[in-house]
Amino acid sequence: MSKLNHSLQSLAGQHCETTALGVLLSHSGIDLSEPMLFGLGSGLSFIYWDSKKQDFPFLGGRVKPFQLTQSLAARLGLTLHSQETSSAQKAWEQVRSSVDQGIPVGLQLDSYYLDYFTSRVHFAGHMVALYDYDEETAFIVDTEQQGGCVSTSLSSLRLARAAGGAMSARHRSFTLTLPDSGSINLASAIIPAITECAQSFLAPPIANLGHRGIRTTASRITGWFDRVENPHRDLPIIATLMERAGTGGALFRRIYRDFLTECLPLVSETGSSAASTSLERGRDLFAESAQLWTQVAGLIERAGLDGDPATLQQASGLLNSIAELETAAMTLLASLDSSA
């Protein structure tokens, strides 16, 4: 492995969008942990999404794709250069011009088409960072689960970038530029990022988002045996996507737990004991929630493998408990403005 690849390999994280952001910011000399990137982008949320066009329901534990990037850029005073086009040729020229200057580029695409991807399920909200290419191959950074520094053919990359469907953005590419000062003010961004995330979670506009979305999942999950075509096949796929493929479940709760832990010493410097107490309690509640999400995924998988719909009733009960835990956590965190 070259020195460049070794350096980039260390930036591969658990979540695709924060992994891509880490590569882009590291190139500019800003090194933030993955939990810090996720938290500053107010990335935690929940979505239950289902439609007749889907083979099975989608459970997501974060805000919609690219919203985290937009929030992070605004929070840290970064300039976000984002481009979309219906032209594959123009899209490649936009990306190539940056990479030729040694600037890595974030891409949103459908992971289904990438040569190295192990899960053949369409997901058009996937993010990677492209850092080099040759006549046939694109060299990119993806998550640890997908291998970190990996490669895919340029033809597969074109298909992935052009994909349509849910959560897609045709040929989206983006770069980040530091403010004129060349630095960021991390401490001042923390409390606003936490409170914005909490308020959005507590007051979602529709019933399939935030805490309402978790409760919606609890009410719908008991009917999944009638919803999916093949429970023995489809329920384990849902569980795998939740727990091991990174779309939802425990992953984002663990990342947010670690973000709050990392924020504690920075918030303590303000001298507000009330804020520190709320952060600690919120962290502990999300740690507990993460464990329950893992149990939910296990129950969904077991229901499919055993052919037992009653197991989904247990998962429903745990989801209602999760909704209560996370509502309590976000209520505490939403109050940080007044306590800080």
pLDDT by position in tens, the chain (length 340) = 455 666 888 899 999 999 999 999 999 999 999 999 999 999 999 999 998 888 899 899 999 999 999 999 999 999 999 999 999 999 999 999 999 999 999 999 999 999 999 777 888 999 999 999 999 999 999 999 899 999 999 999 999 999 998 889 999 999 999 988 878 888 899 999 999 999 999 999 999 999 999 999 999 999 999 999 999 999 999 998 888 766 768 999 999 999 999 999 988 876 678 889 999 999 999 999 999 999 999 999 999 999 999 999 999 999 999 999 999 999 999 998 755 4
One domain, residues 83 and 171: yes
One domain, residues 293 and 312: yes
- Count of alpha carbons within 13 Å of 169, Cβ hemisphere only? 16
Task: Please tell me whether residue 186 adopts helix, strand or coil conformation.
Answer: helix
| 170 part of a folded domain | yes
Quick one: CA dihedral 168, 173, 177, 183, positive or negative?
A: positive
Residue 168: which domain range? 3-31+79-177
| 234 part of a folded domain | yes
Choose among 260, 237, 257, 232: nearest CA to 247.
237
Which residue, 136, 152, 177, sits at the end of a domain?
177
One domain, residues 156 and 191: no
| 55 part of a folded domain | no
Tokens 């849910």 found at:
166
Query: 167 near 65, Cβ under 8 Å?
Result: yes
Which residue, 177, 203, 225, sits at the end of a domain?
177
The number of folded domains in the chain is 2
Q: What's the whole-model pTM score?
A: 0.94
| 271 part of a folded domain | yes
One domain, residues 106 and 194: no
Quick one: CA dihedral 304, 306, 310, 315, positive or negative?
A: negative
Which residue, 177, 205, 230, sits at the end of a domain?
177
